[in-house]
Amino acid sequence: MQKKNNYYWMYSRHAIESALLNPKRNILEILVEDKLSEYYKNYFKFNNINKNILFNTANKSRIIKKIGRLAKYQGVALLVEKLAYEKDFLLDSSFQNNNFILIVDQLNDALNFGALLRVSYAFNVKFIITLDRSVPEENSYIASAASGALDKINIYKVKNITNSIKALKQKNWWIIGLESKKLKKCINIKEHNNLFKKKALIIGSENKGLRNLVRNNCDILYRICPKNEDLDSINVVQAASIALYELT
């Protein structure tokens, strides 16, 4: 039996086309405006998409009824099931061959999480570990803000971030905490970047940053220090972008 709250309508074309190519994504239906019908039929054919997807043409009002009036209309909508996220990253063989991961601890805003996925993919991050139930449930806003990255990054949901950090340390991972609070000294991360082969960057919530227990288990704390002293801090996604640029 299908649970209704396990499904939602995507409306971003980048997200939709990425979802169509993801073999792990279960898709029920695609609604396409007449002028885009031929394009998507060719997209299915060219990419050899053999999923059992109901393909329907629809007018603008019908599509808007599905995606909502606040969504950015792009002439197409895709009814998808939320992804089933893995829980034990240490059992994933592809994870073992990776040298960088992002750990997200209690990021609350859907648009921030989606934007973080997008910038992570831009810097070739393939794996993200999140705390179960502390990041927003997958939805159309995340998919849109991620611009296709949602279906291209392996996301693991764990019950305890601290235990995951300790497990990574046992595998010789270097744990870097992206700090929001003021430090005595702003560390130049480039000076430490080559010390360890395997690195994990942790970011905390928008308002409180890293939790104390998570912070205490980091090998090093790194803070983006604005050059303009009138500005105390920057947005968490902006800070993560700078850190990813330095570390990857």
Domain count, the chain: 2
The residue among 22, 48, 81 that closes a domain is 81
Question: Residue 158: helix, strand or coil by DSSP?
Answer: strand
Same-domain check for residues 24 and 67: yes
User: What confidence tens digit (pLDDT) does each residue in 131-186 have?
Assistant: 887 889 999 999 999 999 999 999 999 999 999 999 999 999 999 999 876 655 56
CATH number, domain with residue 11: 3.30.1330.30
Both structure tokens of 14: 């980048």
Write down the pLDDT at residue 3: 60
Sign of the dihedral defined by the CA atoms of residues 53, 14, 64, 46, in that order: negative
Same-domain check for residues 58 and 171: no
CATH number, domain with residue 233: 3.40.1280.10
Same-domain check for residues 127 and 234: yes
What is the residue range of 201's domain?
89-247
Same-domain check for residues 62 and 130: no
CA distance 78 to 206: 30
User: What confidence tens digit (pLDDT) does each residue in 18-56 have?
Assistant: 999 999 999 999 999 999 999 999 999 999 998 899 999
Residue among 101, 82, 49, 93 at smallest CA distance from 151: 82
